[in-house]
Each structure stands twice: as C-alpha cells, then as structure tokens.
Amino acid sequence: MTKNNTLDVIKKHNLRLTKSLGQNFLNDDNVVRKIVDAADLDKDTLVLEIGPGIGSMTRELAGRAAGVVAIEIDKHLIPALNDNLSEFSNIDIINNDVMKANIDDIISEYKNKYNSKSVRVVANLPYYITTPIIMRFLEEVKGIDGMVFMVQKEVAQRMVSGPGTKDYGALSVAVQFYCKPAIIFDVPPHCFIPQPEVHSTIIRLDILKEPSVRVDDKDLYFKLVRASFGQRRKTLVNGLANAGFLRKDKEQLRQIIESMGLKDNIRGEVLSVQQFGELSNLLGR
C-alpha cells in the first residue's frame, strides 16, 4: 500500500480547494484501503475513478487494477495529479466533466488498452451532484460491473431503504431497479481535508445483468415512480390522477390498483420496486 500524502501534495502545489466543486480530500490510509477493498479489483479490472482530486486513492487503485482512468473536472488539480502519480504507468488522467464526457467511448478505448475484462467505477463524489452522476451511470453507461461510491450518509440510506420507510423514495426505486446496493461502512468528517459538515458512507452498487423487474415501458415506469413520490401525502390514486401523463380517470386508476390486491387509498411510498413494475405494465396496456 502507498503512503497517504494528501497534506504534502496540497502544500507542495499550494492548492486552494474549491468549495463549489465539493472538494474534500481523503487523508486516511485505512479508509482508502477499505474503499478499494470494497471495489473487489484484480489485474483484469479497468477502474474509472471520478474526481480523483490529487490522486490519493488513485495510487491505491493503480496498484491493484489493470489500469485506472481518472476523470477530474478541475484543471487546477491536473499538475498535482500528474506529479503525484508520475511513478505509475497504468494511470490515464482526463480533464473533463463526467456529466459531459462520452463515458462509453472512454471505457471502450481504455478497456482495449489495458486488455481488461471488467470495469468498475470508484469515486468520492461531490455531494451536490451525487444523484445525477449515479443515475447517469445506471441509465446511460454500458459495460460496468459494479460501482463503489462515497456519498453523504443520508443519500446512502435512501438508496438501500425499502417500502414504507421514511427514507424510501424515487432514488431507492431507481437504484434498486438497476442494481443491488449495500452499505459498506461510514466515514467520519475528520478523515478529510478540509472536514465536511456531514458524515459520509461508502456504498457498493452491484449492477444487475437485467433490471430487477420486467417493465414494458421504462419511461412510463419512472414517470410513475416520480409521480408517486412527488406528493407523498396524497394517495396513489390522487397522485397519479394529478400527474397529467396518464389517460385514466380516478375510477379507472382505482380499479387497476385494486386488481393488484391493493387498497384504493394506498400511498405510493409503500409499493415495492416489483409492484411499481406491475402497476406500470397494467397502466400501459
């Protein structure tokens, strides 16, 4: 294992961390090692690291994987990254916004370069854009086997929560539609420079070969999910009737919901991922 040198690199390059980019760099060797352990890497794995910062975790990833592609949005960190990672020949640094980069092309190019058989994403995500990044990888990017993210503790709880709990919502359903999520461990603020105001959690997302539920129309499924949680205090019938995208009146909605063996005054927050799928298919027919 490589020695954590976060503070040294920050001082050497006189770095000023950008709050708007959510920059909090890990400064704990044990946490870095445990995150990389959770990624389950070997020499046949290509790692896509989002937001490497100054490369503290990148070094550990490179020691275990076939290759690491580090995508960093902040151009001011690139010199420090290049310097800190100069001893490694299996790291490629891309200065780009992960929300704008062509991830499929990047994966294809570097999977070929390193002759890797699997692809995993590892990231200490900026908390202000956590959900859009995760959903982009789940919905748009192909060929990924698993992802390990550091996220705000509350967001991790939402991703693993089940029906009827206070944390269960549209994000829970979306994540569990595409993958099997598992909380690995929590990370306290003192493990970072600078210290964030929130607690963090490492979550592992194992991508399913097929979605966890078969749906006829995926767009309808997610519209249905968003409408069901958009007004949590309303019944499912009222929430869907007000959504505006269904050509069904309240009576028709009641009949469909009751045909599933559910009460007509049920709220969307108690439906499982599978029940949302069944309802979506019935509404679309």
Which class is 6-207 in CATH? alpha beta
Give residue 264's pLDDT. 87
Q: What is the 3-state secondary structure (H, E, C) of 37-59?
A: HHHCCCCCEEEEEECCCCCHHHH
Give residue 18's pLDDT. 53
Q: Which fold has domain 218-284?
A: Helicase, Ruva Protein; domain 3 (1.10.8)
Tallying the residues shown for the chain, one arrives at 285
Give residue 192's pLDDT. 83
pLDDT > 70 fraction of the chain, expressed in percent and rounded: 92
In whole numbers, what is the pLDDT of the chain averaged over residues?
90
Residues of the chain with pLDDT under 50: 1-2, 4, 20-21
How far is CA 168 from each of CA 51, 135, 175, 262, rounded to the nearest angstrom? 28, 16, 11, 19
Q: Binding site for S-adenosyl-L-methionine: which residues?
A: 24, 26, 51, 72, 97, 124
For residues 62 and 68, the answer to whether their CB atoms sit within 8 Å is: yes
Q: Binding site: which residues?
A: 24, 26, 51, 72, 97, 124
Tens digits of residue pLDDT in 133-173: 999 999 999 999 999 999 999 999 999 999 999 999 999 99
Which sequence spans correspond to the domains of the chain?
6-207, 218-284
Q: Angle 273-284/250-259 helices, nearest 10 degrees?
A: 130
Q: Which residues of 3-28 are buried (b: 16+ CB within 10 A; e: fewer)?
A: ebbbeebbeebebebeeebbbbbbbb
